[in-house]
Structure 1
Amino acid sequence: MMTRRFWSPGSYVLIFLVLVLGSSSFMAHAENSRVLEERQRELREEKNIVHCSRSRSRTVREIVHEYLTPFVEAEKYTLPESCRLHPANDIYREQEENMDELRPMQWQCRYCKKIFRNQGFLDTHFDNRHSNLLDKSLNMCLADACGALHCDYYNSLSTSKSQKQSTCKPAVVERNRHSCEVLANTCFPADHSPAAQRLNDFFKRQFCDAHTCKKKLKIFPRGNGINRNKSLIYAFTLFTIVALAIFYLIVYLVRRDTNMLKKGMRRASLRPTSKVQKD
């Protein structure tokens, strides 16, 4: 007599549980793989993101050009590449050299020749379209020197409003002063040469001494204001052009009227005079 084999209800439950657990494990593994791939993608994207303020780097560049470079050139001194302010350490230097201000409210990208209404739009264009041209191997950012070189004060000079007097914070002032002195000693090692010694002293007077809460000292005491009031220069140039145009227009109109008057008088003098007959 043959015996029937059948599955007990407990067997079906066991099989169901195994399938559910296996499916859950598979889904969890798939989710972990997805999360891992997403994280790896984010890390790759983060490597391409430049964590350096373009606008504040530009401010440092302008401060150096205006209040430091003329004195360095006068000493015929060359900044060492270890100096944070050396052009080779400026991640945005090449892009800055490839933008042109054609005229007020018109900026051009030299890479693709596109025109933008202001520099801010051009900066965004560089970030979105030409970030691959940045040398991301540079680990220095000019904006990091903003505290040492008084970026906020410098920016306030180009506005009509004076910088508001803020509460002096000793910890912040001391940190900025220390950063400033590190720049001085790195860029102008005192034992390098007499010129480096003089520039080291100058740099500390020009930038570092004003980092204090004890007394109010003038910032950039040796500066001469190069590239300041650019908008005023544009306005004066435009005014001069308009004034000259008006002047030459007046001269042209006066000469034209004078010539017309002379021609009229000449024609009148050439007309034959009529004789008066007497009765």
Structure 2
Amino acid sequence: MARPEVRACKFIVILISLQSMIRVFAISQNSEEHAPEVHCSRERSRAAYKIVEEYLIPFVEKENYQMSQKCKLHPGNDIFRDQEDHKIHVDVNEWRCGYCKKSFRAEKFIDQHFDNRHSNLLNVSEGNCFAELCGALHCDHVMNSAVPKTKCNPAAATRNRHLCESLADSCFPVHQGPSAGRLHELFLRQFCDAHTCSGRVKPFARGGKKHTNIFYLAISILILMLLPIFYLIVFLYQREMRKGTQVLRRISKQSLKKKPS
């Protein structure tokens, strides 16, 4: 039989192991219970960010204006921005996670991967959900462009206009100088004026970022590649023509000589 001291040591070892397992389980449960819940649409946040990038940032850069971090339109206030920046679009059917290098067939799958594996990297703080700005920024106009428009709700249009004007006031205070004043006016024309049920004013009236047309770019490159070949063909053709003319001249001179009698 084992001595009492040995049995006591074994009991202590087992007890310590059980305590360690309970502690690890408690920590994991506690972390899951206190994991921040994200009530923000990734898809609508992405749409709002793209609208800001397309129809506002080019004008802000042109004015060399620095938006305050307190401005809800500031790119740093997008809860999903770090994850979106780590999304690598390799090919049509391949997306890669910039954190762990895993590959996915579609964007929706990498979005699910971010939610399941990298949610701890979200910039969770109050007021940084870009989806909340969709009413002011016309996200539905961009996301549902192919869907028939529903009947306009005057109350919703008024509410979105107030949100839009508050963004213009907070992000581009007119008292901060001429650049802020011009951007304030532009924001009203670009986004806020279209919040009406009249249908006369369309969103993004001032246009947006200029895109290079891929078709015309491809045609231009093709022309530049074929131009040297065309000039080479013309050069060779003209050289052959000159050679042919010289041969004809020599034949003509010989035929004019009188034959000896």
Correspondence for 1:189 among 145, 170, 173: 173
Counterpart check, 1:208 vs 2:206: no
2:47 to 59, 66, 70: 59
AA aligned opposite 2:152:
C
Q: 2:100 aligns with which of 94, 102, 112?
A: 112
The equivalent of 1:25 in structure 2 is none
Distance 2:149 2:117 in 1: 40
Percent identity between the two aligned chains = 49
Match of 1:219 in 2: 203
Q: 2:76 aligned with 1:92, yes or no?
A: no
Q: Could you tell me which runs of 5 or more consecutive residues in structure 1 were left unpaired when the two chains were aligned.
A: 1-40, 248-279
TM-score w.r.t. the length of structure 2 is 0.67
Distance 1:202 1:78 in 2: 16
After TM superposition, give the deviation of residue 137 of structure 1 in Å. 2.8
- RMSD of the alignment, in Å? 2.7
Contact 2:49 2:75 in 1 (8 A): no
Equivalent residue for 1:152? 140
SS of 1:48's partner is coil
Structure 1 distance, partners of 2:87, 2:120, is 16
Which residue is equivalent to 1:171? 155
Q: How far apart are 1:168 and its partner, in Å?
A: 1.3
The Cα offsets for residues 37-77 of structure 1, whole Å up to 9 and x where unpaired, read as xxxx7996475221111111000110011000000000000
Q: Identify which of 102, 109, 129 aligns with 1:121.
A: 109
Contact 1:66–1:227 (Cα < 8 Å) also in 2 = no
Residue 130 to residue 178, structure 1, CA distance change in 2 (3 Å): same
1:103 aligns with 2:91: yes
Distance 1:50 1:226 in 2: 34
Matched with 2:239 is none
1:173-221 deviation line (CA, Å, top 9, x unaligned): 0110011001111110111111000000000000000001234212111
The two structures have a TM-score, normalised by structure 1, of 0.63
> Would you identify which runs of 4 or more consecutive aligned residues in structure 1 move more than 4 Å?
41-44, 225-229
Residues 218, 224 of structure 1: alpha-carbon distance in 2 compared, 3 angstrom cutoff: same
Q: Which residue of 2 aligns with 1:277?
A: none
Q: 1:100 to 1:194 in 2, by over 3 A?
A: same
Q: Secondary structure at the match of 1:107?
A: strand
For residues 189 and 144 of structure 1, do their structure 2 counterparts lie closer, same or farther at Cα, with a shift above 3 Å needed?
A: same
Q: Residue in 2 aligned with 1:68?
A: 56
Following the alignment from structure 2 to structure 1, what is the Cα–Cα distance between the partners of residues 43 and 30? 25
Q: CA 1:104–1:63 in 2, change beyond 3 Å: closer, same or farther?
A: same
Question: Can you give the 5+ residue segments of structure 2 that lack an aligned partner in the other structure?
Answer: 1-28, 227-261
Q: Which protein has the larger Cα radius of gyration, Structure 1 or Structure 2?
A: 1
The size of the alignment, in residue pairs, is 193
Name whichever of 110-119 and 136-145 sits farther off. 136-145
SS, match of residue 96 in structure 2: strand
